[in-house]
Amino acid sequence: MTVLASALDTSSAEYAAHRETMLGKLADLDTEHAKALAGGGEKYVARHRKRGKLLARERIELLLDPDTPFLELSPLAAWGSDYTVGASLVTGIGVVEGVECLITANDPTVRGGASNPWSLKKALRANDIAYANRLPSISLVESGGADLPSQKEIFIPGGAIFRDITRLSAAGIPTVAVVFGNSTAGGAYIPGMSDHVIMVKERAKVFLGGPPLVKMATGEESDDESLGGAEMHARVSGLADYFAVDERDALRQARRVVARLNHRKAYADPAPAEPPKYDPEELLGIVPGDLKHPFDPREVIARIVDGSDFDEFKPLYGTSLTTGWASLHGYPVGILANARGVLFSEESQKAAQFIQLANQRDIPLLFLHNTTGYMVGKEYEQGGIIKHGAMMINAVSNSRVPHLSVLMGASYGAGHYGMCGRAYDPRFLFAWPSAKSAVMGPQQLAGVLSIVARQSAAAKGQPYDDDADAALRAMVEQQIESESLPMFLSGRLYDDGVIDPRDTRTVLGLCLSAIHTAPYEGARGGFGVFRM
Ligand code: COA
């Protein structure tokens, strides 16, 4: 074993300061997570309960195997928008009858569970995860359909929801719909497209058009129950496979459906692994409040991998990127971690080689981000930094082993791409509260804008107002800063959630377990042309 040594001094003032900053950010994060948990707020929660209904998360809890974890995804969706934090939908991965499943549950306390543009993004992301990892998908349905005032944003792209359900089915990935309430108009296609359908007595309402619409269209008098009740669908139309007498019975029946799926993981679970030698609690004191100060990612690796055992690859070459092999909860991983921010040509070439090796050996990759991007300047341009950065991006793009990304600190510019940012389809991407991501740092961006404006005024022969420039710079800086923060980015679904650094090993372990439901094979060739 090659156990990493640690130089972290937990009695230093520096450590205490980093920890305090991180705890402050975690407290802010808790406040925002609480908003998602509160759903539509007290009034609507009380009304929902009075109707004898379970809340979305209670439904999930009863569906899952007792005392098993639920990895909730994107709880901050819609943060910073006009919609309720959480986007009226709960999504995540949990274990049902021993089978890891992708679960989605509408939150009917938020605008009747209607889907807004962020709910749609969140639902589509959940479908992607189910598809990539071959996880059975269970939808706990109770929704007012499209959020009507924002229908223009969702009606046309929203069709993908129903397409995805049947594509999952076509790929042999089971889909289960449990209908607790409204599932009308387009929403009727959720049970309509699913492999297995359960409906709750006197609660499910599944029809293309409700009584008023039918009256308008054909003049026919009707009622909810005869148009789309559970009893009708179970006895007459045949859309419901199972009739549940109440919500708990529906969840019990959903568990029985999953128990009979015969859904098998591609890989056996690894044997229990040795925990890291260092206390994960210490992950709070590693990242500096000011990301301009570097930190050693080996301190992080030592606190997340099995036995803190890490075999570094090319430790003496391209030293601002640490690469090496480890295992995490028994799964082998290749790790790429930024050490001092900037990526140079050597780091880029080292990364490309390392990614190819992982593909040859079928080893998943973990990217730990803290980069300000690729190095700029005459020397580096002349040294071919574009070619070399492109090699790394080529390797990441065409790699076929599963990727995981964690934004620990900075993730700026093309460095975000080379380190497998969101657009490069990592199977999962999480951010720490300390992360920041943007095209470049706020000061740099404001400075660039100012230089461009000054040059433009000079070219037109106009005077340049320095006071206005300073005000503009301050404003831009503040705007970019706020748009770089993890809550803002999580709100836009650019990650799968903001996590407590102490949970990193657990979260990645759950992801690796889910990933190993589907078979994968690394790319033996098939990379783009590497510019040498
Ligand atoms: N778009 C936007 N807002 C909606 C909505 C929708 N599709 N469905 C419900 N809401 C809002 C309501 O206006 C209400 O807002 P308010 O409390 O500020 O007045 C809130 O969500 C709760 O709705 P309410 O009707 O009181 O809840 P309910 O639990 O009694 O009934 C529904 C829920 C979904 C059955 C009912 O609201 C409904 O039928 N909505 C319209 C469904 C529809 O036709 N959707 C289009 C299908 S594509």
C-alpha–C-alpha distance, residues 469 and 30, integer Å: 37
Cα-based angle 114, 117, 118 (whole degrees, multiple of 5): 90
In this prediction, residue 15 carries a pLDDT of: 98
Q: Tally the C-alpha atoms within 13 A of residue 352's C-alpha that lie toward its C-beta.
A: 22
In this prediction, residue 171 carries a pLDDT of: 98
CA of 182 to the centre of ligand 1 (A): 10
| Exposure b/e, 28-54, CB count within 10 A at least 16 = b | ebeebbebbebbbeeebbeebeeeebb
Under a CB-based contact definition with an 8 Å cutoff, are residues 85 and 104 in contact?
A: no
Q: Put residue 368 in one of left, alpha, beta given phi > 0 → left and psi -120 to 50 → alpha.
A: beta
C-alpha–C-alpha distance, residues 351 and 324, integer Å: 10
Task: State the residue for tokens 């006071």.
Answer: 467
Q: Using CA positions, which residue lies closest to atom 31 of ligand 1?
A: 112
CA of 141 to the centre of ligand 1 (A): 14
CA of 371 to the centre of ligand 1 (A): 45
Which atom from ligand 1 is nearest to the alpha carbon of 144? 34
List, run by run, the mean pLDDT of 10-residue segments along the chain (532 residues).
97 98 98 97 98 98 98 98 98 98 98 96 98 98 94 95 98 98 93 98 95 92 96 98 98 98 97 97 97 96 98 98 98 96 96 98 98 96 97 98 98 96 98 94 90 92 92 92 93 98 98 98 96 88
In this prediction, residue 340 carries a pLDDT of: 80
Fold (CATH) for 39-259: 2-enoyl-CoA Hydratase; Chain A, domain 1 (3.90.226)
Q: Using CA positions, which residue lies closest to atom 47 of ligand 1?
A: 145
Cα-based angle 398, 403, 407 (whole degrees, multiple of 5): 120
Q: Could you tell which of 118, 182, 224, 227 is best to mutate to test the pocket of ligand 1, judged by most ligand atoms within 8 Å of the CB? A: 182
Under a CB-based contact definition with an 8 Å cutoff, are residues 143 and 117 in contact?
A: no
Is 39-259's fold the same as 280-439+485-515's? Answer: yes
In this prediction, residue 420 carries a pLDDT of: 98
Q: Using CA positions, which residue lies closest to atom 13 of ligand 1?
A: 111
Which atom from ligand 1 is nearest to the alpha carbon of 147? 1
Task: State the residue for tokens 């109770």.
Answer: 142
Q: Could you tell which of 48, 53, 109, 111 is best to mutate to test the pocket of ligand 1, judged by most ligand atoms within 8 Å of the CB? A: 111
Locate 17 and state its tokens: 């300061």
> In sequence order, what E strands does 187-228 have?
196-200
| Exposure b/e, 142-163, CB count within 10 A at least 16 = b | bbbbbbeebbeebeeebeebbe
In this prediction, residue 440 carries a pLDDT of: 85
Tell me 241's DSSP state: S
C-alpha–C-alpha distance, residues 395 and 291, integer Å: 27
Using CB distances shorter than 6 Å, the residues near ligand 1 are: 111-112, 114, 144-148, 182, 184-186
Q: Could you tell which of 45, 148, 155 is best to mutate to test the pocket of ligand 1, judged by most ligand atoms within 8 Å of the CB? A: 148
| Exposure b/e, 108-132, CB count within 10 A at least 16 = b | bbbbbbbbbbbbbbbbbbbbebbbb
C-alpha–C-alpha distance, residues 110 and 427, integer Å: 29
Fold (CATH) for 280-439+485-515: 2-enoyl-CoA Hydratase; Chain A, domain 1 (3.90.226)
CB proximity list for 433: less than 8 A, separation 6 or greater? 22, 25, 26, 28, 29, 486, 498, 500, 501
CA of 147 to the centre of ligand 1 (A): 8
Domain regions of the chain by residue span: 39-259, 280-439+485-515, 442-483
